[in-house]
């Protein structure tokens, strides 16, 4: 090949590189401009449950303050069904421009760990934006057992093998998975008795037809106040302000039983980092407003905010934990 031909190829290569750099620069500049002007229109926040529940109510309080903070309407849209899968899939397939968000709860990871064949990947198809708050699980027992602590429960289980049971709001519920995790961590044998909802489960617990319940705070709080059940421990590694005299499960000798319900916001995975960070800052700001603090306190929960990266770590840790438990215990939604 002659020198002129070689020089021609070099020139074409250089021109190609220059064009690529110019295109990349223009693209980056466009993304920066887009992010800087975000949001410039209403944002839709998908709640993957039917209207009227606790999650829907919390989402609407968050949306109200977020609208004021971002100076654009944040519209709550309910897409219930499939245990939250329909709403989650809608967001997973949406454009990653920050204008479609998912108001997720802990069922996002529990259901993803249990159900096969979901049309989305809980880890790969979403960009975690912000964790907002958490609510611990309470370990309670029927008064007919006469237990006063988690150590009492462990001693009873040792003395009476194969005699304990625990109730739940249904297969795959947070109550069910918490009980299975407790069994895995302690070696205690307990039969699982699923109900169609927390209400019937609580009624039978109080009546003594079931013995132990790993309950959310709103479900069981009235009955703790009425002294209708015995509160044994807070699942996790710290006490809660609502029950300062009740030890955590870790204090009681059961390690790594850190289970809680949580609320947070996710976006489609290809949402630009600049937009995710902007949303994160806004959500962290409104989460610390009195309205949201009081709303979470009414659910027996507390505000817990952080970076998108920290939220992603939480999601991945929980997905790994629940998937491991589901596999080892042979659990299913059926």
Domain boundaries, the chain: 43-135+260-329, 136-234
HSE of 1, CA atoms in CB hemisphere, 13 A? 7
The helix or strand, by DSSP H or E, that contains position 121, with its residue range, turns out to be: none
pLDDT at position 36, please? Answer: 75
Fold match between domain 43-135+260-329 and domain 136-234: yes
Contact predicate 315/128, CB 8 Å: yes
pLDDT at position 31, please? Answer: 54
User: Any idea how long the chain is?
Assistant: 334
Q: Residue 166's beta-bridge partner residues?
A: 192, 212
The CATH architecture to which 43-135+260-329 belongs is 3-Layer(aba) Sandwich (3.40)
The pair of structure tokens assigned to 8 is 């021609």
pLDDT at position 3, please? Answer: 57
CA distance 146 to 53: 34
Judged by DSSP in three states, 191 sits in strand
Angle (CA) 223 228 233, round 5°: 75
The pair of structure tokens assigned to 13 is 């290569």
Q: Does domain 136-234 have CATH number 3.40.30.10?
A: no
The helix or strand, by DSSP H or E, that contains position 245, with its residue range, turns out to be: none
50 φψ region: left (φ > 0), alpha (ψ -120 to 50), beta (else): beta
200 φψ region: left (φ > 0), alpha (ψ -120 to 50), beta (else): alpha
| Residues of the chain below pLDDT 50 | 6, 27, 29
Contact predicate 78/50, CB 8 Å: yes
Q: What is the DSSP string of 218-234?
A: HHHHHHHHTTSEEEEEE
């Amino acid at each position: 090949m002659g020198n002129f031909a070689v020089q021609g190829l070099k020139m074409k290569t250089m021109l190609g590189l220059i064009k690529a750099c110019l295109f990349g620069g223009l693209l980056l500049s466009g993304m920066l401009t887009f992010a800087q002007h975000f949001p410039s229109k209403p944002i839709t926040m998908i709640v993957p449950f039917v209207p009227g529940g606790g999650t829907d109510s919390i989402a609407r309080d968050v949306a109200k303050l977020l609208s004021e903070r971002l100076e654009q309407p944040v519209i709550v849209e309910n897409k219930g069904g499939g245990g939250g899968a329909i709403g989650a899939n809608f967001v997973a397939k949406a454009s990653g421009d920050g204008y479609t968000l998912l108001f997720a709860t802990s069922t996002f990871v529990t259901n993803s760990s249990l159900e096969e064949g979901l049309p989305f990947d809980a880890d790969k198809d979403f960009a975690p934006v912000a964790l907002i708050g958490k609510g611990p699980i309470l370990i309670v027992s029927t008064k007919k057992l006469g237990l006063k602590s988690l150590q009492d429960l462990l001693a009873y289980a040792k003395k009476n093998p194969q005699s304990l049971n625990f109730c739940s709001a249904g297969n795959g519920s947070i109550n069910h998975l918490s009980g299975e995790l407790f069994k895995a961590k302690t070696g205690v044998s307990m039969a699982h008795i699923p109900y169609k909802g927390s209400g019937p489960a609580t009624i039978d617990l109080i009546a003594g037809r079931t013995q132990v319940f790993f309950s959310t705070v709103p479900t069981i709080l009235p009955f703790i106040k009425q002294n209708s059940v015995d509160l044994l421990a807070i699942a996790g590694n710290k006490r809660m302000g609502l029950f300062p005299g009740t030890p955590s499960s870790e204090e009681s000798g059961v390690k790594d039983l850190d289970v809680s319900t949580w609320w947070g916001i996710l976006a489609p995975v290809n949402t630009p980092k600049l937009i995710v960070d902007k949303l994160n800052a806004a959500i962290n700001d409104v989460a610390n407003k009195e309205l949201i603090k009081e709303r979470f306190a009414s659910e027996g929960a507390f505000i817990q905010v952080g970076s998108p990266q920290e939220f992603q770590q939480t999601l991945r840790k929980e997905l790994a934990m629940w998937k491991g438990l589901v596999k080892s215990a042979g659990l299913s939604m059926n």
